[in-house]
Amino acid sequence: MTRQVHLVGSVGLSDADTVFNMVSDILGNCCSRIPDGETGDRDYWINWQSQTFENAKGLRQVVQDIKYPGLEIKNGILYELDGPIENVFIPELGYASEALESWKKFKKLQEDGRIGSNVRFQVSLPTPTALLSGFLLMDSRAPLEALVEARILEDLATIQNSIPNDHLAIQWDVVFEIINAEDAGSEKLHYVPVIEGSVERVARLADHVAMDVETGIHLCYGDPGHRHIVEPRDLTNSVRFANGICAVAGRQIDFIHMPVPRDRIDDDYFAPLAELTISSKTHIIMGLVHFTDGVDGGHARMAVCNNYLAEYGIATECGFGRRNPETILELLKIHRELSTM
């Protein structure tokens, strides 16, 4: 049996064409969704959205130190409301325009036979909570949530209206939500309770994805300097999010990605998987591939995971857009070899 390989989003290569070709060459039919690699300005997740908020109307810039568990940003730039909310204008986010440009390249390669006909083009989108938490002061987050969510859903609608639905997959990146659930001392979200509030919001996003489009969840603990912002104690919160989102969403969640730290080859970490109550149609993807210890390390983590899941896909914990490009080929080969185990 060949396990499915999942690519979380960013791939540290120069452009989408290079990503599509290298992934197809190395992973072939074991990768059913291929992202464009989030190359160029998008290589550091939502950081490129700083231009959106810089060009917004009705917001005031505030410079201050920003602290997260394990991460401190000196003289960070955030924004707050500068007058009535009716005066706020947030420009287009740009996710749709980037996706449509990459789709043209993907489609051409698929028509030429370089990418399999059954492979979907994957687009990763942030949750509104990510943009609110990443760019706005606390008091401005709740008032602007509906506006930010509307912008994200506008991009989603454009993507779905422009790309054949049976060729498309949408991944929702859930970061601030699970970090906050894991560490009560972290930067607070603008709502409580954290898990229930996050589940409701993510499920609502998933329900906007057309039924013929695959949709999934990437549960992420961050990757600055190849380290988590918060270390997961075990998979308890990942399972809570998975169970909750699948129960609340009005449509099938096709895949859920969970992280596995490099040093976790213990039953305690994986044991919460026994509490999963999701449909067998929802594919679990374990982020157990690490470049540092390669095939041997990945195989060791798989050996423990096998005690709790009969079937699952494999991936890295996070995107690898910040990696040295010279390591990407070898990292993809590690995925390929592990997919046969």
Provide the residue ranges of all domains of the chain, joining segments of one domain with +. Answer: 16-338
pLDDT band, very low/low/confident/very high, at 208 (cuts 50, 70, 90): very high
Query: For residue 230, what are its two tokens?
Result: 């918060």
pLDDT digits (tens, 9 = 90+) for 223-240: 655 566 788 999 999 999
pLDDT band, very low/low/confident/very high, at 76 (cuts 50, 70, 90): confident
pLDDT at position 225 is: 56
Statement: residue 68 has pLDDT above 70 = no
The string over 118-150, giving b where at least 16 C-beta atoms fall within 10 Å of a residue's C-beta and e elsewhere, is ebbbbbbbbbbbbbbbbbbeeebbeebbebbbe
pLDDT at position 228 is: 67
pLDDT digits (tens, 9 = 90+) for 78-95: 999 999 999 999 999 999
Counted residue by residue, the chain has a size of: 341
Considering the entire predicted model, what is its pTM? 0.96
Hey, which bits of 88-144 come out as E strands? 120-126
Q: Is the dihedral of CA 220, 224, 229, 234 positive or negative?
A: positive
Q: Cα 206 to chain center, whole Å? A: 13
Place of tokens 């990942």: 238
Please tell me the least confidently modeled range out of 20-24, 278-282, 308-312, 323-327. Answer: 323-327
Average pLDDT, the chain: 94
Cis upstream peptide for 193 (omega within 30°):
yes
What kind of fold does domain 16-338 have according to CATH?
A: TIM Barrel (3.20.20)
H helices, E strands: number in the chain:
11, 9
Contact present, 234 and 271 (Cβ < 8 Å): yes
Those residues with Cβ within 8 angstroms of residue 30's Cβ, 6 or more apart along the chain or in another chain: 2, 3, 4, 5, 336, 339
How far, CA to CA in Å, does 251 sit from each of 37, 146, 287?
27, 22, 24
Sequence letter at residue 165: N
Contact present, 119 and 32 (Cβ < 8 Å): yes
DSSP-based three-state secondary structure for 241: helix
pLDDT digits (tens, 9 = 90+) for 4-31: 999 998 898 999 999 999 999 999 989 9
